[in-house]
Chain A
Amino acid sequence: MKFIDEYRDAQAARQYSDSLRRVTTKPWTIMEVCGGQTHSIVKFGIDELLPPAITLVHGPGCPVCVTSLELVEKAIEIASTPDVIFCSFGDMLRVPGISRDLLSVKATGGDVRIVYSPLDALKIAEENPAREVVFFAVGFETTAPANAMAVYQAAQKDIHNFSLLVSHVLVPPAMEAILSSPENRVQGFLAAGHVCAVMGFWEYEPIAAKYHVPIVVTGFEPVDILQGIYMCIRQLEGGRAEVENQYSRSVSKAGNLPAQKLIGEIFRVVPRKWRGVGEIPQSGLGLQEKYSRFDAEARFGLVHFTADEPAECISGLVLQGIKKPYECTAFVVRCTPEHPMGATMVSSEGACAAYYHYRKKS
């Protein structure tokens, strides 16, 4: 497949690997922000091709992982309501709530449907005017334009039985939270290429400057990731801290302007609680007041409550790159993909699941 296979070329990968060995003279710790990048690294065994001096830590780039326990519980509540059609991306179906997940709601008779696109959920709403249709709008900035369009089209078409349960999170505030933590060991970042395809990378320049960390916008295929790491290491070895763009075939500095415009029309920045991490100010998106009729939380009158994560679960520390999955006392022993304790084990992108599936069990 064009624009995929070339970036999985073994020779190019080996050349980048050799180049990395040549230019790395000191130990460095780099974080890849996006769960899709984590998935690729573990699936292709990319870390095997890195010199031992480079440590990769896996960041909180999995919207499934960071969706708060409260929101998962609200999703379960709504999906269990009679006559509701609850639509979601497949990723969310196995994320554990307090005692259940959306898949078990489906198993006990809830009408939970997997969709590929938010517009599919809108179509279901149009085809079922007598029923409430709710879409679980999860994602980073990459998915925001799609979710915004679903609301925009719903408003244009005057649809009354459609709403969104919004769980959008933003990358730059998460990066700042990691960098400003006293326990931070991350010295360089691979920024999420597809988030930047939408938002551009101008937002990262102040972060690179303030914390003196190189940030390289990176793609998802093995050769992209290796080049991104190479560019980051070159900066670190040279004492530079700039924003560079490895993924230039899909990302420009300004980003996608029509997408940003519609995001701004439909959504506004709000504080958001990240599962296992806590509340990060200005780190999420919520619906603008004029579109509040599409807000499922309001429509279903959901009560605020807080819930405690299982004490043993360190998914928050794994998400921030402070611990690796195998440092968790429950890893493999009590926490497995069949019986997950935290979202990082459930999501196919979660660092814990990635380690579980692709690593030898120790």
Chain B
Amino acid sequence: MCLAVPGKIMSIDGTDPVFRTGKVSFGGIVKQVNLAYVPEAKIDDYVLVHVGFAISIVDEAEAQEVFEYLRQIGELAELEENSIQ
């Protein structure tokens, strides 16, 4: 549940998939995070961290979708207004 925070992978330790950890930075503070569940994660990736585990890699392209969607509904609203007029 709930409290998972995105952070940037600064370094990765170990090759064993289960015990692989990385140093993840959250605005400058750094925590050791277990990377077992994000085997494709690499340095500079942003990962979502919950209780010391990375549970997903943040997709930077999808991250923009929220604003793209907003732009589209804005355009749609304008079109609708114009067609009413």
Contacts and interface: CB of A to CB of B under 8 A. Distances in A.
Contacts of B3: 36, 194
Contact of B69 (A63, A227, A249): A227
Interface string A207-233: 000000000000010011001001000
A246 B68 CA distance: 12
Interface in B53-85: 53, 55-56, 58-60, 62-63, 65-67, 69-70, 73-74, 77
Contacts of A117: 34, 51-53
B8 interface: yes
Given A256-B55, A258-B37, A197 B1 contact: no
Contacts of B63: 3, 6, 249
A63 B33 CA distance: 23
B83 to A, nearest CB: 14
Interface string A245-266: 0101111000010110010000
Interface in B1-57: 1-6, 8, 18-19, 26-27, 34, 36-39, 46, 48, 50-53, 55-56
A19 interface: yes
A15 B74 contact: yes
Nearest to B4: A194
Contacts, number: 130
A89 B3 CA distance: 12
A223 B73 CA distance: 14
Nearest to B26: A1
Given A194-B55, A249-B63, A250-B56, A34 B1 contact: yes
Dominant secondary structure at the A interface: helix
A152 interface: yes
B37 to A, nearest CB: 5
Interface stretch (A70-78, A137-145, A313-321): A137-145
A142 B38 CA distance: 14
Interface size range of chain A in the complex: 35 or more
A149 interface: yes
Contacts of A63: 1
Contacts of B38: 256
A356 B66 CA distance: 32
A300 B65 CA distance: 51
A16 interface: yes
A276 interface: no
Nearest to A198: B55
Given A146-B51, A197-B56, A248 B62 contact: yes
* Nearest 10 pairs of A and B residues by beta carbon: A117-B52, A36-B2, A3-B6, A249-B63, A140-B1, A248-B62, A249-B62, A197-B56, A259-B37, A1-B27
Interface of B: 1-6, 8, 18-19, 26-27, 34, 36-39, 46, 48, 50-53, 55-56, 58-60, 62-63, 65-67, 69-70, 73-74, 77
Interface of A: 1-4, 6-7, 12, 15-16, 19, 22, 34-37, 39, 61-63, 89, 116-120, 139-140, 142-143, 145-146, 149, 152-153, 156, 192, 194-195, 197-198, 220, 223-224, 227, 230, 246, 248-251, 256, 258-259, 262, 349
24 contacts: A1-B26, A2-B6, A4-B6, A12-B67, A12-B70, A19-B70, A62-B1, A89-B51, A117-B34, A142-B50, A142-B55, A145-B53, A149-B53, A152-B18, A153-B19, A192-B1, A194-B3, A195-B1, A224-B66, A249-B58, A249-B65, A256-B38, A256-B56, A258-B36
